[in-house]
Amino acid sequence: MFGPRWTPDAKWLVFETDPSQSGAGDILGIRPGLDSVPVPLVVTKFTEAAPALSPDGRWLAYSSNETGDFEIYVVPFPNTHAAKWAISTAGGMEPVWSHRGNELFYRDSSENLIAAELTTKPTFSVGRTTRLFPAGKFGASRYGSRYAVTSDGTRFLMARPLETSAPDKLVVVENWFEEVRATGPRLRR
C-alpha cells in the first residue's frame, strides 16, 4: 500500500498498489468496518498513481500512463466507472486539488506547475489551464505529490533537494515533552 489517504468524510481509505510488482500500479480503497478486501477503484493494465480526492470527496484525480505518457484524469468517487475526464494533454503527474475544489494543480512533462480550472456542479467540466511557474528545481514524484497549496490557492510549499554531497541526517528526539515540562514553564494538558 502506497500513499494512503482518507476521504474528507473519513469513510474510505484510498491507496495505490506497488507499481513495481507485476500487474500492479492500481488505485484501491477500503471502508474500514465494511470491506474485508480492498475495492478496485481504478484498475487497468496500465499504471495508475497519485490518487487525490477533491475537498468535497466527490471526485478522484490520478495519473495514468494509458496514453504512453503519464497524464492526469478525474473520475467520480466512489463510482469511478461512471465517467472519466482527461485533465492534462502534455504530460501530468502529482495532482493536488485547491481547497475550494475549483482548480486542480499538477506538473506537466516540462516540469511546469499547471492549474486547471474545474467546474464540479451541476456537472463536471474542465476549463482553462494555466502554466503557473517552472517547478523543475523542486522534488517530484510520479507516485504522490511532493508539494502543498495554501488554503487561498496563492502559494505553494515545495521541497528543493539539497545540492550537497554530505548525507542527510535524521535526528530523533524521544521524551521531548517530559524534557520541556521539566525545564520550561508549566504546560497544561
Rounded to two decimals, the pTM is 0.82
Q: Look at residue 92 in the predicted model and tell me its pLDDT.
A: 94
Residue pLDDT, tens place only, 86-131: 999 999 999 999 999 999 999 999 999 999 999 988 889 999 999 9
Q: Look at residue 21 in the predicted model and tell me its pLDDT.
A: 67
Question: Which tops the pLDDT comparison, 90 or 138?
Answer: 90
Residue among 94, 84, 52, 47 at smallest CA distance from 67 = 47
- Local confidence band at 182 (pLDDT 50, 70, 90 cut-offs): confident
Q: Look at residue 140 in the predicted model and tell me its pLDDT.
A: 73
Look up the CATH architecture of domain 2-161. 6 Propeller (2.120)
What would the grid cell of residue 18 be? 506497488
Question: What strand order describes the sheet that includes 112-119?
Answer: 93-97, 103-107, 112-119, 125-134
Please check the confidence at residue 185 and state whether its pLDDT lies above 90: no
**What is the C-alpha separation between 107 and 23, in angstroms, rounded?**
26
Residue pLDDT, tens place only, 40-61: 999 999 999 999 999 999 999 9
**Percent of the chain residues topping a pLDDT of 90:** 62
Q: Average pLDDT, stretch 180-188?
A: 64
